[in-house]
Structure 1
Amino acid sequence: MPTTTRIRVPAACLAALLALAGCGAPDGDTVTADQRQPGGSSTGSPDDTTAGNTGQPPSGRTGGKLSPTDPPLIGTPTAPPRRPTELRKANVLAGRLSQGGSGPCYTLVTDDGREYALHGLDKGTFATGTFVRVTTAPATTEMDCGPGIPLSILKMSPVG
């Protein structure tokens, strides 16, 4: 009677052998060992080449899509948004000082052309033309700081 030799094969080796044997690709197609190895050659028609060798998916495949359905598309806007997309605080202004100095009166012109007559004691010295960010409050005194919408300064700092 012939003697049988048993060889123990680690599970990782067994899994690799099963994969190389062509247990099947996720889409149900059988993949050969030649197709799995980078630079491997395939025999048969040009359609049998792998995506890694030609840059194109094999015939009958969709180019490696993970889902059978396309994601929903977001259309191109047809009009500007109805509400602002970036919310800002109503009491914070930014613009260029058309009248600077050491206070207490300053004149601020925003990018949209609005002019503000600002009043604030001990807020600093700012040169005319300086771009500033100003946190404001309603005007509390009957101080006349010139043309523009009157406001009180809570905080003023140069920008940039």
Structure 2
Amino acid sequence: MPTTVRVRVPAALLTALLVLAGCGDRSADTVTAEQSPTGQPPDGRTNETLSPTEPPLIGTPTAPPSQPTELRKSNVLAGRLSRGGDGPCYTLVTDDGREYALHGADHGTFATGSWVRVTTGPATADVDCGPGIPVSILKISPVG
């Protein structure tokens, strides 16, 4: 019948045995930035403290956004003039195909086909500038 012998090992001796066996503190194997000829740790990392947690992953979108991602002022339009000239009436066509009948005196001369940005106001009731959504010009400037 085998005999079992129990031996108490002091904690310091156990720690020393674990270090020698490679299971404990490995600070003796670590090269610090000061010991490296480049002044950086040998694995290319910097001495910055990194977060102990991983950042959250952003998933792949499953559908287009439900709200516009770029907010714009509702009274600012941009597009190409399908009717230009020296005013006071112009016709603007935006990228989405909407046509606006612009009215504004003394805003300059713009060639048909030029790209403009227009800050608009409410339409003047007694003015008809032709087809399109009627608006008045507060400011108009060429784009590009």
Q: TM-score, with normalisation over the residues of structure 1? A: 0.63
Partner of 2:13: none
- Given candidates 85, 90, 97, the residue that maps to 1:101 is 85
Alpha-carbon distance change, 145 to 73 in structure 1, aligned in 2, over 3 angstroms: same
Sort the Cα spacing of 1:72 and 1:144 in 2 relative to 1 into closer, same or farther, 3 A: same
- Report matched runs for 1:1-160 at 5 Å: 29-32=26-29, 35-36=31-32, 37-38=35-36, 52=42, 55=43, 66-160=50-144
What is the deviation of 1:29?
A: 3.3
Letter paired with 2:98? R
Structure 1 residues 133 and 29: CA distance shift in structure 2, 3 A: same
Gaps of 5+ in 1: 1-27, 40-50, 58-63
Distance 2:44 2:131 in 1: 69
Higher relative contact order (CA 8 A, sep 6+): 2
How far is 1:69 from its partner? 2.5
Residues of 2 paired with 1:140 and 1:65: CA distance? 64
Percent identity of the aligned residues? Answer: 71
Output the CA distance in 1 between the equivalents of 2:44 and 2:105.
71
Structure 2: stretches of 5+ with no match in the other structure: 1-24
C-alpha distance in 1, partners of 2:65/2:121? 29
Pairs aligned (count): 115
What's the Cα RMSD here?
A: 2.7
The whole-number CA distance in structure 1 between the counterparts of 2:26 and 2:50 is 15
Provide the TM-score with structure 2 as the length reference.
0.69
For the residues of structure 2 that align with 1:124 and 1:145, how far apart are their CA atoms? 16
Residue 31 of structure 2 aligns to a residue whose secondary structure is helix
More helix by share: 1
Please, which moves more after superposition, 134-143 or 96-105?
A: 134-143
C-alpha distance in structure 2 between counterparts of 1:68 and 1:88, whole Å: 40
Change (3 A) 1:128 1:67: same
